[in-house]
Amino acid sequence: MAESAYLPAVAIQNSKVLDSPRHSALVRVTHWIHTLSFIALVLSGIAILLAHPRLYWGETGAVGTPSLIDLPFPFVLELQIRGPGRYLHFLSAWVFVLTGLLYVLSGLFTRHFWKNLVPSRVDLGWKSIRRVVSNHMHLKRPAAEESRSYNVLQRLTYLAVVFLLSPLIIITGLAMSPAVTSVFPVIVTVFGGQQSARTIHFFVAVALVLFLFVHIAMVCLAGFKNRMRAMITGHNAAGKEPS
């Protein structure tokens, strides 16, 4: 492969840039733990959903009452996947929430969000956004310089995932708990009922899975090996972007 040809001259030239990691150790560790827990949550969530693939609005819903959406899946009740799925769902939910909290708290503490994710006023301009969208439409790979930072679409997407979708999926999950809502009833009434919370929980999960697919597609387009290296070792590859 082209990038495995190590060029000492280039490495020395770039050493200053290479010394400061593309992703901090904490971001990298929480990223991969989060990845594992998210995959476990999706798989176990599917196992739970298949017991009753109908969605409702309001407080209650069951077979024999009108549904909001009948998902095109069979009712899987005999296959023993739901029980273990539930155990796995709540275990991985704890991992998801605790690593998420660690990431957010450290991100606030180190000003990671402010420095790396909140877009500048210029970036939020129509021209800048149009350029980034056009680059995406033409599947243009970012220049090496560009790949050391996030573009405005990435920034807005990551912020939405961290500060909108993730809290929403956690709260709608807790809203289905009769014990938690005995203390904080507002977390379920705000969504219009327990079944509404379940429905929103489903759609937020779908949005997060879509994010995951787009995220992986973008990583592939931007240079899979280099981006994976950056998220594992912290550093971009020495030398040129892989061709």
Partner 1 sequence: MSSPLSRRKLITTGLATAAGVSGLGVAAVLAQRYGLIPPDHGGIFGAGETLTYAGQRLLTSHHSLAREFNRSEISKVAFVNGKPPQNEAYQRHVAGGFADWRLTVDGLVARPSSFSLADLKRFPARSQITHQACEEGWSFIAEWIGVPLSTVLNFVGVSAQAKYVVYYSLDGFWWDSIDMPDAWHPQTFLAYGMNGGELPVDHGAPVRMKVARQLGYKSVKYISHITFTDSMKHIGDGLGSPAPAAGYSWYAGI
Closest to 169 in 3D by CA, of 84, 89, 54, 83: 89
Considering only CA atoms, which of 108, 127, 105 is closest in space to residue 118? 108
Pick out residues in 176-205 that bind partner 1 (CB under 8 A).
176-183, 185, 188, 194-195, 198
Task: Compare residues 1 and 179 and give the one whose CB is closer to partner 1.
Answer: 179
Rounded Cα distance between 13 and 65, Å, is: 69
Binding part of the chain for partner 1, among 49-57, 120-128, 158-166, 223-231 by CB under 8 A, reads 49-57
Shortest distance (Å) from residue 66 CB to partner 1: 10
Residue 60 or 243 having the CB closest to partner 1: 60
Q: Find the helix or strand (DSSP H, E) in which 54 lies.
A: strand 54-55
Query: Side chain identity at 137, as an amino acid letter?
Result: M
Residues 6+ apart with CB under 8 A from 239: 3, 5, 6, 7, 10, 11, 14
Q: What value, to the nearest 5°, has the Cα angle with vertex 220 and ends 136 and 112?
A: 75
Nearest 10 degrees: CA dihedral of 106, 108, 111, 116? 90
Give the nearest distance from C-beta 173 to partner 1 in angstroms.
8
**77 contacts partner 1 (rule: CB under 8 A):** yes
Stretch of 9-17, 55-63, 131-139, 143-151 contacting partner 1, by CB under 8 A: 55-63
Residue numbers 79-108 binding partner 1 by CB under 8 A: 80, 82-88, 90-94
Task: Give whichever of 92 and 226 is closer to partner 1, judged by the CB atom.
Answer: 92
Q: Which is nearer to partner 1, 19 or 145 (CB)?
A: 19
State the nearest-atom distance from the C-beta of 123 to partner 1, in Å: 32
Q: Write each residue from 155 to 174 as x if it is in contact with partner 1 (CB under 8 A), else as -, in one continuous string.
A: ------------------xx
CA distance between the termini of the chain:
9
Residues near partner 1 (CB under 8 A), total: 41
Distance CA 6, CA 148 (A): 20
Q: Is 48 in the site for partner 1 (CB under 8 A)?
A: yes
Give 156 or 168: the residue with its C-beta nearer to partner 1: 168
Residue 120 engages partner 1 in binding (rule: CB under 8 A)? no
C-beta of residue 232 within 8 angstroms of C-beta of residue 18: no
Nearer to partner 1, 129 or 176 (CB): 176
Give me the half-sphere count of Cα atoms (radius 13 Å) on the Cβ side of residue 46. Answer: 9
Q: How far apart are CA 67 and CA 46, in angstroms?
A: 19
Q: Which residues bind partner 1 (CB under 8 A)?
A: 48-49, 51-52, 54, 59-65, 77, 80, 82-88, 90-94, 173-174, 176-183, 185, 188, 194-195, 198
